[in-house]
Amino acid sequence: MSCLALSLQPANGSDILLQTREWFPPARALIALHAFRQTRLAFSNKSPSSVAATSSSSSSSTAETSAATESIGDDPLSASSGQLIVGVESKYRVVYRLVNSIYVLGITTADHDNSINVFECINIVNQAVSVIVTACRGVDVTPEKLSRKYAEVYMALDIVLRGVSNIRLAAMLSYMHGDGIAKMVHSALDTEAKIRGADTWPAVELHSTEHQSNIEAFSNASFELPPETLAAGDQKVSTIVPQSTIEQDEKMIKAEESEAEKDPFAASEAINKQEDLVGGFKKTKDPSATDLTLALAGLEVTTLPPAEATQSTDITVEGFEGKYGGIEFGSEQATLGEAFEGFTDAWGGGLDASEFLENKKVKKQEGLSGLELLQTGDSAAPTAAAAGADGGKSLENLLVKSTEMKGPEMYILEEISAEFRESLLARVGLMGVVYLRTMPPRVSGDKDTEFSFRVEGTSSVKRFVIQSSRCSSLGNGMFHVRTPPSEEPIPILKYSLLPRLTPLPLRVRLIKRLSGTLLSVMIQYVSNPELLAPLTDVTFVLKLPVDPTLLKVSPKAVLNRSERELKWHVPEVPLKGTPGKLRVRMPLDSADIDEELEVVGYVKFSVQGATSLSGVCLKPATEGKTDFYEVNHRYQSGVYTCN
């Protein structure tokens, strides 16, 4: 960029204003300004102490005479404009213009490869001169006059520093007196189009839609010829084309039809035959068909494991005490299939189905096998009709209530990511987005949504990013938004928090132990007691290193073998209390045993409430004025892991 900073520096006195780009540190701009002042005083053979002593003189006539002498005198930088390179290690080029004892300075880097366009920097300084001359209503520019229009000058120089055309600059200057800052900032969105005579998009959108509909109509149009015309054309073709060619075409058509009849995928004629229920059963006179011993001859029965395999293993590892493995047979299990029901693939292999199903027998209904439940008369018709009418009415009322909006709505969506290693927090980050939901276009028409608001609770915010096409910053946490209506929520602000000030809703710890061939994993979790409401519907996902053959979990979990994931669902995490524990044990093959087995846990949650997790809140710009409605905020987990 050609110009990095703009400043207003009086010939005598402290600087009035400094405006810098986002990536240029203000400290470096102040160094360049100080070097420019020192160079100017050195050229005029005056020291800063003498200037300060002269400016604090008690005699008004003597002070005015000395100030005039010092501001003009033999100062070689008192010319109307010029350039100066300042600095020792970091060199900067200062482009200046003198307007009635006030220097308008533009700061850029002192390049040696001509990569900086100095003329563009000079143009920006000239535009800044136009701003202060307009603010002071003439060339008699003084610090007192600038202080009366300080806010307007500040915002105008901020826009000029980022680059502005002469058309927009003229529009801004015309609104500087009497129309307010917001009018001046947003005045030039359509100014260039209006001056050049171009139409706005809403005015020409109708013509574009009509043109598109005409294209679609002509593309889908079909024209049919009368039968008389077609017959006359066929007759004419028959006189032109030789008769042998027509006969060959007819033979080819008949051959294609015969091939189509032999299509193996064509529908069978058996579909049209009448069903014969009795004919489908044929009696057989072979006596071996009823012999059960011949039917069971090829059945292989797996032998049961020895008695030692049914015994459980006693584990004494701290935190994982208990007995694992083994098979118990109960008297209530009548068959072998019921005994091993928990080890089928339907329940993930190793999870007991009795923990998920209730052992209740359904009473068998007597009668015509449920046919008596069918309604054969018209008695159910009025009830169904009444229920349908009431249901439709209630559904319509529900839809109307859900779409009612009193005005523009704003809410915050935050996403927090964290990584825990053992019990230590390795890294954390939170990013928030402020969304604006405008009134629907069918309600507001083409009227833009425009209002101002302020953001509070930003002490922990690291940086803000603004969507400049819809929102602008007024300083001091104030923002002004102007946007056309939209059906979808519009992101207008994004922010991130400092890592050391980011609140954690949940702390997680993963412990892994390998004893021989038995792998034991435990996840401990505890909620942040400063949360306003406890976390609900929290999901813990554990990525297993191998596909388990046997598995024991506490509490109940769901196993996904294809992804090798074990998933717990916790309905609620209390704010205060003992940490929750999720345990899993599984045996490993000797080939899979490794001291650096990768076991990673993920946490997923989503919370919706009246406040945000970071404490950032949205308020109207003016107390008591409702320009928008603040609806429920939401924060959710991003990449929340422990390993």
Backbone angles phi, psi at 369, to 5 degrees: 55, 40
Question: Hey, do 2-42+77-196 and 506-604 end up sharing a CATH topology, with the first three levels equal?
Answer: no
How far apart CA 179 and CA 410 sit, in angstroms, is 27
Q: What number is the average pLDDT over the span 461-476?
A: 89
Whole-prediction pTM value?
0.41
Mean of all residue pLDDT scores within the chain:
75
What pLDDT band is residue 197 in, cutting at 50, 70 and 90? Answer: low
- Residue 352 gets which letter from DSSP? -
369 CB neighbour count, 10 Å cutoff: 9
Percentage above 90 pLDDT, the chain = 20
What pLDDT band is residue 320 in, cutting at 50, 70 and 90? Answer: low
How far apart CA 552 and CA 587 sit, in angstroms, is 10
Statement: residue 189 has pLDDT above 80: no
Kindly state which CATH superfamily the domain 506-604 is placed in.
Answer: Mu homology domain, subdomain B (2.60.40.1170)
Residue among 584, 546, 507 at smallest CA distance from 320: 584
Full strand arrangement of the beta sheet holding 478-483: 471-475, 478-483, 449-456, 617-620
How far apart CA 106 and CA 128 sit, in angstroms, is 9
Radius of gyration of the chain (CA): 42
Segment of 49-53, 104-108, 249-253 carrying the highest mean pLDDT: 104-108
Which residue type occupies 31? I
What pLDDT band is residue 15 in, cutting at 50, 70 and 90? Answer: confident
Q: Where is pLDDT greater, at 6 or 423? A: 6
Residue among 484, 464, 474 at smallest CA distance from 159: 474
Tell me the pLDDT tens digit for each residue of 450-465: 999 999 999 999 888 9
CATH of domain 2-42+77-196: 3.30.450.60
CB distance 413 to 446 below 8 Å: no
Tell me the pLDDT tens digit for each residue of 248-291: 777 777 766 665 555 555 555 665 666 555 555 555 566 666 66
Q: Where is pLDDT greater, at 356 or 271? A: 271
Domain ranges of the chain: 2-42+77-196, 409-416+424-501, 506-604
**pLDDT the model gives residue 241:** 62
